[in-house]
Amino acid sequence: MDISYFRSSSYNCWELCQQQYFLKYVLGLEDGSNLKAELGSTTHKILEILAIQKKNLQEGKDSFLVDDPALETLKKHKDIFQEANVLSITKSVFDYYKERSEFDFGDTEFKTVTKYVNKALTFKNGIFDPRNLKIVEPETYFEFPIEKDWAKLANGDYLKIRGTMDLTVERFPLVYECIDWKTGQIKDIKNGKLKDFNYFNDDFQLNLYFYALCKKYPEIKQFIITIFYIQFNAPFTMAFDRSNLIKTEEMIHKQMEEIQNCTQPKLLNNWFCDRVCYFRKNGNNTCVRIKNRILKEGIDTVTLEESIKGHSLDFYQSPGG
Ligand code: SF4
């Protein structure tokens, strides 16, 4: 199977189900959206805009210099800390997503988004409120080749890592914190167990973020990574050290080889398939159809014939870790 880059979502997808990885990241098939994910995106966008407002103030600019199509109906307020400012951003962003969504964005959903934003802003007197923080970069994008022999691909390029971290802030001089908001559950989909510090110590997303931060900001001495489960008032803050860089490369190397050597992706085949996965629920037979085609015709033929036209293994889809 071909691979040219890793994002945390592609890595985690492979860990969950190889077949889903093949459908999404090799063939480029869309896996549909859902209301919960869209409410999560709406919440992220509101927090991102508050961070941009704060960064503008830090740089002596008008806080409302935010170039974002989701702010079409924004009403300006003098002070970004005014409740009316947050409400106005929330309304504008909510309406933007509502217009583009196939799902019902009604009063209940508006309340849900307002509740998520409020929880993120008020937790422990606002220690994660972007307006209280020294913003380095909202939506911190990264893309780096891994310049190691093992990461060299057949075409001569190096395997890349890429992604977007929700927010990078400076906590103290030469100490940066990356904050990643989550609006979903704290449970591991694979086994239903609650995630804890041991889980996050080995979590690819957090290790990848640490790796990316070290590369992106080489002058910074210490990085802290916080993953904040907003619904549950549950932030997990990790302080990795440089040994995690080796660990992250080992994780990438191992999975890269697994993917490259795979000719028949394994299927997860549990409750998740019928209840959650787009490729099987509601009578969708894509998962099984493609599995049978690979069995009969081989993965190369299926890749060639079933890939979405214009899809590239090198594509980038925002937002995403
Ligand atoms: S239906 Fe199940 S096995 Fe098939 S792609 Fe989805 S998660 Fe994987």
pLDDT digits (tens, 9 = 90+) for 206-246: 999 999 999 999 999 899 999 999 999 999 999 988 888 99
Cα(14) to centroid(ligand 1), Å: 11
Q: At what angle do helices 8-16 and 243-261 cross, to 10 degrees?
A: 60
For residue 53, give the nearest of 38, 73, 68, 69 by alpha carbon. Answer: 68
Percent of the chain topping pLDDT 70? 96
Cα(271) to centroid(ligand 1), Å: 10
pLDDT digits (tens, 9 = 90+) for 251-286: 999 999 999 999 999 999 988 899 889 999 889 999
Cα(254) to centroid(ligand 1), Å: 22
- pLDDT of 17 > 70? The answer is yes
Q: What is the pLDDT of residue 312?
A: 57
Candidate of 10, 13, 19 to mutate for ligand 1, largest count of ligand atoms within 8 Å of Cβ:
19
pTM for this prediction: 0.90
Q: What is the pLDDT of residue 75?
A: 76
Candidate of 21, 273, 291 to mutate for ligand 1, largest count of ligand atoms within 8 Å of Cβ:
273
Kindly give, in sequence order, each residue whose CB lies less than 8 Å from that of residue 199, ignoring residues fewer than 6 positions away: 188, 193
Looking at the chain, list the stretches that DSSP marks H as alpha helix, in order from N- to C-terminal side: 8-16, 18-21, 35-58, 83-100, 107-122, 197-201, 204-216, 243-261, 271-275, 286-297, 299-306
Q: What is the pLDDT of residue 317?
A: 46
Strand partners, 121: none
- pLDDT of 70 > 70? The answer is yes
Percent of the chain topping pLDDT 90? 79
DSSP 253-300: HHHHHHHHH-SSPPP--SHHHHHT-TTTGGG--HHHHHHHHHHHH-HH
3-state secondary structure of 104: coil
What CA–CA distances, in Å, run from 106 to 39, 46, 110, 115? 11, 17, 6, 14
Q: What is the pLDDT of residue 157?
A: 95
Cα(298) to centroid(ligand 1), Å: 19
Q: What is the pLDDT of residue 308?
A: 86
Residues with CB under 6 A from ligand 1: 17, 19-20, 23, 267-269, 272-273, 277, 279-280, 287
Mean pLDDT of the chain: 92
How many CB atoms are closer than 10 A to CB 178? 23
Q: What is the pLDDT of residue 310?
A: 62
Q: What's the average model confidence in pLDDT over 144-149?
A: 95
Residue minimizing CA distance to atom 5 of ligand 1: 20
Q: What is the pLDDT of residue 33?
A: 84
Candidate of 274, 280, 281, 292 to mutate for ligand 1, largest count of ligand atoms within 8 Å of Cβ:
280
When pLDDT is cut at 50, 70 and 90, the band that residue 29 belongs to is very high
Residue minimizing CA distance to atom 2 of ligand 1: 273
- pLDDT of 78 > 80? The answer is no
Cα(190) to centroid(ligand 1), Å: 12
